[in-house]
A and B are shown apart, each in its own frame.
Chain A
Amino acid sequence: MRDVYVVGIGITTFTRLEYALSEIASYASMMALKDAGVTEVDDVYVANMGGPRVNHQTALASAVVDSLSLTPAGAAAIENGPASGGSAIKAGFQAVASGMDDLVLVAGVERMREVNNLEATDFVATLTHPIAEYIYGVTLPAHAAMFTRLYMEKYGVTERHLAMVGVKNQNAALHNEWAHLQQEISLEGILDSPEAMTNNPYVAEPLRFFDACPVSDGGAAVILASKEKAEELGRPMIRITGVGQATDTHAVFEREDPTDLLAVRKAAGDAFAMAGITPQDVDVAELHDAFTILEIAESEEVGFFPKGEGHIALENGETALGGTIPINVGGGLKGRGHPVGATGVAQAWEIVTQLRGDGGTRQVEDAKTGFTCNFGGFGNNVVCLTFERED
């Protein structure tokens, strides 16, 4: 298997974008192509979840290739729920690692604000089990709320811990010019003051408004290359050292213990094993904090902290910039936003930015090893990646 490098990255502002789905992807892709200094690729993978349903657009990869004048490159769209981005990077990785391709463009894109919040919530809920969950009105906030309640009872996580994640990540987004939320929040304002319950009401108890990521539009892209091609291009050598993907039961109630995210555990374990590193070797991580509880739970499942102690590490500042394992320093999904199909690629964008040392005021000092966890479904399809800067 050949080594695979990220030689170009691109992203759009995550916000409401009144722009065609394919053009959002193309804009991010153009940035990545320019960053890499290439005008042609062998294959294109475009990650997206809602195009056919929300934007009435199918065959998205064909549209992107055409708008970028990348024909006759091969092109395919990848729909894998919120793990679409990570899955597309995995597909691109396989294409280069196998020797089939030398250069691959991987883009992720979503335009969810074309519909109202109710429709957007319903669209995301279509990833749940159609018979056991969806028809009963289960949404992702509802899933996350039940998960949170169990986590609180079992491990002592409190609403304060959730709010701490929200404040950490939303305020981190202030250092990321591409992030959706550019508004500082405080524990006093969302938790402790007499006005907190109005400022930050429950959306699905015990989860409150600031525990959830925003609904965002946006795109992100990376260019993957073989070692020979990467050396030829002369860009910083950021290698994808590990790839892990795992699944769990579709219906959450079928899991022996719903607080165990087994797919996260296996995907992360596989990625670390492939890279030949341990979780403690990671300098900077991107975890899929669609809801604040998920950052805490994933930080345990991937092995950064013992099970049930993620919230203690949070209290101790270990997950903040300057801590032992800074998590979501670019805002995460909570602050950067969560255009579903783009998220896995945006996580890679942030890690490559960090490993290049281009993080500006959010830069993790001397970051050499990075990690991403792209969490699909309610933990039923997860992609984890490890990255390393080669000096």
Chain B
Amino acid sequence: MSVDLEKILRPIPSPMEPYEPKYMLLASGEAAVVREVGRDEIPDLLKYVEPLLHVERDFYDVVASRVYAELLGHYQFRFQDQYVLAVQIDGELAAIVNGRQVTPNLGLSLHTLAFRRGLRVGAHAFAAKMEYHFDQLGHDEVLIVAESPIGFRRWMIEYKLEKRFEVPHELGGVPSWALTRELFDRARASLIVGRRPVPPEMLAKAMAGILPPSDPPTPALDPLAATRAKSDPTATALMIERWEMEGRSEDA
């Protein structure tokens, strides 16, 4: 009985051509490999995403919590036609992107989560998944939303997306934007990079395992923002420091 129910609960996957890995040089000169992540590797990704649920800046908490749910759903066969790509630098996780196929002609972008910042890793990852939708899956259009201002600049502005506001996006039911094949082709020269095939040693290192990000985004620890703006708007701490310098106690 339970086996039969599980068959009902599991979506039947549609045929999807696997993503062909590629690599690129980042501004740092480091090589980044983009490749599809197998279902068996999802538990590793979940471990690395979980800490970002608690990063309350640049909407990392919102994006990470949704990515976590999507990855878990994918892992437990509760997601229809999702794919997951990872960006790795020397094996280390630098970004995750995912999306899904809605119909043979329509793709849907889910999320882009960058663990390394300042090197366009997220932008390169997003470009890779758009390339997958158009060049490999043969979609005519991809529905997209942004959950952060950074995402809005990177997708809506850089790719000059069209409005599809009449279509609620699966992420929160908000109005969709669309990247059409024509817009993608226009952006191809300036935004889409990468080389194939990936050198065997480089690919082998990436495939050997997804190493944890060494410098992931962390909760704001800036002494100004964390300890003073929120807890000390009247700058009492500054006065206390001054009293200490003068040899006076805090309750003087």
Q: Tell me if B29 counts as interface (CB < 8 A to partner A).
A: yes
Report whether B25 and A195 are in contact in the complex, using a CB–CB cutoff of 8 Å: yes
Q: Which of A132-162 contact B (CB under 8 A)?
A: none
Residue of B26, B239, B246 near A199 (CB, 8 A) is: B26
Q: Give, as a whole number of angstroms, the nearest-CB distance from B92 to chain A.
A: 15
Q: Which residues of A contact B27 (CB under 8 A)?
A: 183, 185-186, 189-190, 199-200, 210
Chain B CB within 8 A of A193 CB: yes
- A17 close to B119 (CB less than 8 A): no
Considering the chains assembled together, what is the distance between the CA atoms of A310 and B162 in angstroms?
A: 47
The one of A17, A26, A184, A197 that contacts B238, using a Cβ cutoff of 8 Å: A26
Q: Is B186 an interface residue (CB 8 A)?
A: no
Task: Say whether A278 faces chain B, with CB atoms less than 8 Å apart.
Answer: no
The reply on A194 being an interface residue by CB < 8 A is yes
**Which residues in chain A, 97-125, are within 8 Å of chain B measured between CB atoms?**
116
Please state if A181 and B118 are interface contacts (CB–CB under 8 Å).
yes
Give the complex CA separation of A193 and B223 in angstroms: 39
Residues on B with beta carbons closer than 8 Å to the beta carbon of A196: 25
CB-CB under 8 A for A30 and B222, given A67-B235, A195-B25: no
Does chain A have a CB within 8 A of B149? yes
Q: 20 A-B contacts, Cβ less than 8 Å apart?
A: A18-B220, A19-B225, A19-B229, A20-B233, A23-B224, A30-B242, A34-B241, A69-B238, A69-B242, A181-B118, A183-B118, A186-B27, A186-B28, A189-B26, A189-B28, A189-B30, A190-B27, A196-B25, A199-B27, A201-B190
Shortest Cβ gap from A113 to chain B (Å): 11
- Complex alpha-carbon distance, A33 and B26, angstroms: 42
B123 to chain A: closest CB distance in Å?
Answer: 8
Residues of A within 8 A of B233 (CB): 20
Chain A residues, CB < 8 A from B117: 183
B106 at the interface (CB under 8 A from A): no
Residue of B192, B193, B229 touching A20 (CB-CB under 8 A): B229
Residue ranges of B at the interface with A (Cβ–Cβ < 8 Å): 24-30, 117-120, 124, 149, 190-195, 220, 222-225, 228-229, 233, 235, 238-239, 241-242, 245-246
Q: How far is the CA of A30 from the CA of B60 in the complex (A)?
A: 33
Q: In the complex, how many angstroms separate the beta carbon of A103 from the nearest chain B beta carbon?
A: 15
Contact between B190 and A197, CB atoms less than 8 A apart: yes
Whether A68 contacts B238 by the Cβ 8 Å rule is: yes
Q: Chain B contacts of A232 at CB under 8 A?
A: none
Q: Which residues of A contact B (CB under 8 A)?
A: 12-13, 15, 17-20, 23-24, 26-27, 30, 33-34, 37, 39, 67-69, 116, 181-190, 193-201, 210
**Given A183-B28, A184-B29, A189-B26: 14 more A-B contacts, CB < 8 Å:** A13-B224, A17-B225, A23-B228, A23-B235, A23-B238, A24-B224, A26-B238, A27-B223, A183-B117, A186-B28, A190-B27, A197-B190, A199-B119, A199-B120
**Closest Cβ of chain A: how far from B16's Cβ, in Å?**
27
A341 to B191, CA, bound (A): 35
Q: A39-B245, A39-B246 are in contact. Are A19 and B228 (CB under 8 A)?
A: yes
Contact A34 B245 (CB under 8 A): yes
| A304 CB → nearest B CB, Å | 29
Known: A199-B120, A200-B27. A194 touches B228 (CB 8 A): no
B241, A184: Cβ atoms under 8 Å? no
